[in-house]
């Protein structure tokens, strides 16, 4: 299976570098490039990529808004968004994740990690370490609900065990760590995570973690 990639960055030199890295892989093909968010939307419609490598800070339309229009709530297109940022704690990263991105990487990431990230995201998973998810959410806790709000009615569709798994995902635990915590198999955890994503109509565990914080199920900084 060939993974179709769209490069979105306002710096042509960076796009050229990414293209050279990706086109050296037999299963990746760069189908197009865009220099801003508006061009990205046009290219996504025209080229139907599997993965969009999305810069955050660009003219005309930034990467957050472009991500929201490509992969946000109500969007059922095939394209997944992998955000690229210069700074580890870019103030827009959390907003991009909330907008529908499947994860983020630093622009100076080693070539092999970039390639692997694209494959992971194309396969429907999230390319963001759980520990990074939690660190980001804690860093921007002031932007999230305090936890005093009542959980949304949507959580009633989850079983008690699924709520427990969602809480542990938001705490930054991997599937293996959740399995150890709950004394179940890792396969069982994967099944629970899948049910959570399906019932809450979330794309991946990154969005699940954000949802848990926003709903008040988990408080920023909670252990």
* pLDDT at res. 8: 96
How confident is residue 11, by pLDDT bands cut at 50, 70 and 90?
Answer: very high
**Taking the model in full, what pTM does it have?**
0.69
> In this predicted model, which residue has the larger pLDDT, 170 or 153?
170
- How far apart CA 116 and CA 126 sit, in angstroms, is 11
How confident is residue 199, by pLDDT bands cut at 50, 70 and 90?
Answer: very high
E-assigned strands of the chain? 3-8, 28-34, 51-55, 80-85, 104-106
CA 192, chain centre distance (Å): 19
* pLDDT at res. 139: 59
**If phi over 0 gives left and psi between -120 and 50 gives alpha, with beta otherwise, what is residue 110?**
beta
- How far apart CA 160 and CA 55 sit, in angstroms, is 39
Share of the chain above pLDDT 90, in %: 41
* pLDDT at res. 1: 81
* pLDDT at res. 147: 46
Query: Coil, strand, or helix at residue 167?
Result: helix
Residue-wise pLDDT for 22-36, tens only, equals 999 999 999 999 999
> In this predicted model, which residue has the larger pLDDT, 199 or 128?
199
* C-alpha to C-alpha distances, 159 to 155, 162, 203, nearest whole angstrom: 9, 5, 19
Residue-wise pLDDT for 127-157, tens only, equals 665 555 656 656 555 555 444 555 567 688 9
Residue-wise pLDDT for 38-90, tens only, equals 999 999 999 999 999 999 888 889 998 999 999 876 666 778 999 888 765 55
* Least confident span in 21-25, 93-97, 181-185: 93-97
């Amino acid at each position: 299976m060939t993974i179709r990639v769209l490069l979105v960055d306002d710096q042509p030199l960076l796009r050229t570098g990414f293209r050279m890295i990706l086109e050296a892989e037999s299963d990746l093909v760069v189908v197009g490039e865009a220099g801003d968010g508006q061009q990205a939307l046009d290219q996504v419609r025209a080229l139907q990529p599997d993965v969009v490598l999305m810069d955050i800070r660009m003219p005309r339309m930034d990467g957050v808004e472009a991500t929201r229009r490509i992969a946000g709530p109500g969007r059922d297109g095939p394209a997944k968004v992998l955000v690229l940022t210069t700074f580890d704690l870019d103030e827009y990263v959390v907003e991009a994740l909330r907008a529908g991105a499947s994860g983020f990487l630093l622009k100076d990431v080693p070539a092999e990690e970039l390639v692997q990230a694209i494959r992971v995201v194309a396969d429907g998973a999230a390319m963001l370490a759980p520990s990074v998810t939690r660190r980001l959410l804690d860093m921007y806790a002031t932007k999230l609900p305090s936890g005093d709000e009542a959980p949304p009615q949507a959580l009633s569709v989850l079983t008690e065990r699924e709520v427990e798994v969602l809480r542990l995902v938001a705490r930054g635990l991997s599937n293996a760590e959740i399995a150890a915590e709950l004394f179940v198999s890792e396969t069982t955890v994967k099944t629970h995570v899948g049910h959570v994503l399906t019932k809450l109509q979330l794309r991946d565990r990154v969005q699940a973690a954000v949802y848990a914080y926003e709903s008040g199920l988990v408080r920023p900084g909670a252990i």
